[in-house]
Amino acid sequence: HLATECTSKDRLCFNCRQPGHESKACPKPRGVLNRTCGGCGEKGHVSDDCAKRESWMCKNCAESGHGHWECSKPK
């Protein structure tokens, strides 16, 4: 049957395969699960959601707290 017709309370999200929500409300959208953060280098989140932002080291100016893609200093 179609997912929209499913009456099961235990159906899984198509994105993360966890119960309790539909894919459109998924806290970890499909693209994020296998992405690597440009700031900390860890998998599972993107730089906009990184909790370790303060420890980032800019490859452009060598200062901490931001990524090279958002650096205001000349390249």
Confidence of residue 2 (pLDDT cuts 50, 70, 90): low
Is 54 contained in some domain?
yes
Number of domain units in the chain: 1
- For residue 59, being part of any structural domain is answered with yes
> What tens digit of pLDDT does each residue of 18-59 get?
888 887 788 877 776 778 888 999 988 888 889 999 999 999
Task: Give the Å distances, CA to CA, from 71 to 54, 55, 56, 65.
Answer: 14, 15, 12, 10
Identify whether 75 is part of a domain.
Answer: yes
What is the reported pTM? 0.52
Given a cut of 90, whether residue 60 has pLDDT beyond it is: yes
Let me know if residue 74 belongs to a domain.
yes
Q: Do the domain assignments include residue 22?
A: yes
